[in-house]
Structure formats: C-alpha cells, structure tokens
Structure 1
Amino acid sequence: MSLKKATLLIFIILLIDQVSKIYIKTHFQLGEDVTVFSWFKIAFIENDGMAWGTKLSDFIPSVSDQLAKLILTLFRIIAVIGIGIWLVNATKKKNSKILVFAIALIFAGALGNIIDSVFYGILFSDSSMQVATFLPEDGGYAGVFHGSVVDMLHFPIWSGLIPDHIPLIGGRYFSFFDPVFNVADVAISTGIGILIVFNNKVFEDTPKTESLESESHNSPT
C-alpha cells in the first residue's frame, strides 16, 4: 500500500470518527442513550483517562487529575508522531500491505482521539444536563489539552446470571459487552488485531527492493 492510499484511508476514518463525535456532542446530553437494536445502543459518555476509563492519578495519587490529563495527552501526541514515522518508513521500504494498512488504522484512531483531547475542551460547552454548544460565547468546558474523548458505541449483546453449575463464576451476574467506545477505538483495536493475527506475515516478509538486491549479489557473475 502506498503512502497516498494510506493517507486516504486515514482521512476517511478521521472524517467518520469526527463527524460521529460532533453529532453526538451536539445532539445528546452526557449519559443519554438511544436503543437502536436490543444488542446495540448509542450511549454518550466522555472518557477523561486511559483505556477503560483508568486515570494516571489512580496509580499515582499525588498527581492531580488536571496534570494527569495533560501528561496523557502529551504522551498520545508523542506516540502518534512515532506511529506516523513508522508508517512513512514502512511505505518507503515497501513493507507488507497488511502492515501498512494496520499502521494506518492505528495512526488514524490515535489521531482521532487526540483531536478530542486537545481541542474539544475549547470547542464545546459542557454536556452535563444539556446538549453542548459548538464554539460557545463564554468559552469551552476545559482548556486546550484537557478535553475529554467522546464515546458512543455500546454493544450490550448479552446480560444475565451465569448458571450455578459453572465452577467459580456460577450464580454471578455477567454483562457482555460493557465498554462504550468510538470509531477511533475500533480503528486502533482492528489495527492491533491485524498485527497480532498476521504477525509472521507482517514482520517477516522481506521488502521487494531488498529481495532483488539480495538476489543480484548472490547470483553468479
């Protein structure tokens, strides 16, 4: 996959991600949800921390939530720069199309969530008990780098009591799938999943240019 095609893929994912987030932010109150199917809901929540709502301050109590949020956002920016460099190098070296595709997905997803963290705090008013306003006259709900990531996709596929005869977990209430996420999260998870499933093919393929050079050196003169 060429860098041009990878860039187009990134643009499409970012467009879908941001359009869906802006729509939710400007049409839903925080905590509001709509049932589309019995197994799928649009549920608006905001994520201030890391994956699964974890915060850096949960591990280091001395770090304030504001500082932890800033550190996390800066870390995300550094990470996405590194992923971008990886993507460019992979296309230049003509690495596996699967590898380039996976990196592009991860890059698009990471960038999509960074946009929320960096800009949404100054672009939108607060969503608690009200629908947010875009570019409010009295300022946004947080400063730059302190925005919250918008999540809205919820798949409560099954919930109920686990049969008593099942060892260890029998009799407990179980719900699958509880996490609420967004399009960017789907892109990141898919990209990582591709790297894991196709690990051998992705990382062991020799680039075509290197293969040709190797054959020319090894051929008799």
Structure 2
Amino acid sequence: MKLRSTIATLIILLIILADQIIKISVKISMCLYDKIHVTDWFYIFFTENKGMAFGMSFISTLWLTLFRLGAIAFFVYVLVKQIRRQAPIGFLVCLSMIIAGAFGNIIDNSLYGLIFTESAPIPPPFAQPAHFVEFGQGYGSFLRGHVVDMFYFPLFRWPDWMPLVAGQTFFGAVFNFADAAISCGAAAMLLFYHKYLSFVLSSSKRAQDATDKTLSK
C-alpha cells in the first residue's frame, strides 16, 4: 500500500508543479493572444478562459470551481479506497492524473485573480505581460480567476467542400497541461482499465444495494 500511495502522491504533486510552472511562465512573459510558432501544427498561443476545459465557457467561474472541488473530493475518496484495495498501479496513475489536472485549474480559478495583474491583449503597442502583485491586489477576487491556456494544435483545415465544417480548423481548442492530464488519464483509464472500472462500479452498486436493504428492514 505504501508504494501505491507514494506513486499517487508524487504524480499529483509533479503534475501540479509542471502545470503551474508552464502557466506562470506564459502569463508573465506573453501578452494575451500572443503566439509563438513552434511548427505549422503546434503553437504556444496564450489565451485565458473563465469556463470549462479546452476553452469552453458556459458555467460561471464560481460554480465551476465549486463543482471541481466536489469532483476532486470524490476522486480523492475513490483513490484512497482503491489504494487500500491494492488496485492496479496503472489505474491509480490514471486516477491521480485526473485529480492533479482538476486541482491545477482550481489554482488558477482561486488564486490568479488575487496575485496577478490582468493580462493585456495584443496588438496595442504598449501592452505588457501580467506581473505579480501583493496578495489581494490583482485583477479579480477569490474563485474568479481565469484559467491560463497555451497549447494549440491546428493540425489541418477541413476542405471547403466538407459540409458543416468547411474551412474550419481540426481540433481548434487551446488547452493547458492540466487539461491534458485529465484527458489522458481518463482516456487511458477507459482504454486499458475498463474492465477494472466496471468491477469498481458494480462493487459500489452492490454495496449501495446492500445498504439500502439493511436500512429498509
């Protein structure tokens, strides 16, 4: 059990650390919507969003953060339970990636508005990157910070004759390291551990049914 808990803790801490290093580096060195050409299909493109992962925005930042906190609490509970059950290490790695990614974006929502000036958009000639300020003197309040995104992969454009998507960029979302951790963790879990996940879900359902029968007596 010690090995599994150590691996899970290290993965969570390393992902959060890497995510924050990348985000802070981008925020203090680039203006909003500034773009660095890496290859024709990969750019560092600084954007911010108030909503969901991959730039989606249809829930207020406050409610989104509270939802994420609830989700993290649930997944941490599941992680601890699975560590005690000696679950496969790969399954625990996937779960840890999801937890770390969600927590990484919560840091942006919770603290960035308190510790940074607002990022100025280009192309104004005197636009400057954001910088640190005294705690509480930033551009927003607690739970109302913006999530920093920067990875953009415009792999190709759909041909003009394609219906509905003509001329649009394939996978035009801009995302961050935390989003990638969540997506990769969830995808790997479904791909490689779907049988174990089904076992976990069915076990939880049987336990709940047993509890309900006990309470109904």
TM-score in same-fold range (> 0.5): yes
- Summarize the Cα distance change of 1:55–1:7 in structure 2 as closer, same or farther, 3 Å threshold: same
TM-score (norm 2): 0.81
Contact 2:32 2:119 in 1 (8 A): yes
2:176 counterpart residue number: 182
CA distance, structure 2, for counterparts of residue 10 and residue 200 of structure 1: 22
2:135 paired with 1:145: no
- Summarize the Cα distance change of 1:203–1:178 in structure 2 as closer, same or farther, 3 Å threshold: same
Segments of 5+ residues of structure 1 without an aligned counterpart are 57-67, 207-221
Find runs of 4+ consecutive structure 1 residues off by over 6 angstroms: none
CA distance, structure 2, for counterparts of residue 100 and residue 13 of structure 1: 14
2:10 counterpart residue number: 8
RMSD: 2.0
Contact 1:98 1:202 in 2 (8 A): no
Deviation per residue, 1:12-34 (Å, 9 max, x gap): 11111000000001001111111
Match runs of 1:5-154 below 5 Å? 5-51=7-53, 52-56=55-59, 68-128=60-120, 129-136=127-134, 139-154=137-152
CA distance, structure 2, for counterparts of residue 120 and residue 146 of structure 1: 8
Segments of 5+ residues of structure 2 without an aligned counterpart are 121-126, 201-217
TM-score (norm 1): 0.80
CA distance, structure 1, for counterparts of residue 152 and residue 92 of structure 2: 29
CA distance, structure 2, for counterparts of residue 157 and residue 175 of structure 1: 7
Deviation per residue, 1:39-84 (Å, 9 max, x gap): 110000001012342222xxxxxxxxxxx22111111111111111
Contact 1:30 1:130 in 2 (8 A): no
Larger Rg: 1
Determine which of 190, 210, 215 is the counterpart of 1:196.
190
1:65 counterpart residue number: none
* Identical positions, percent: 36
- Summarize the Cα distance change of 1:169–1:122 in structure 2 as closer, same or farther, 3 Å threshold: closer
- Summarize the Cα distance change of 1:48–1:200 in structure 2 as closer, same or farther, 3 Å threshold: closer
CA distance, structure 2, for counterparts of residue 34 and residue 47 of structure 1: 19
How many Å apart are 1:205 and its aligned residue? 6.4
How many Å apart are 1:199 and its aligned residue? 4.0
CA distance, structure 1, for counterparts of residue 164 and residue 70 of structure 2: 41
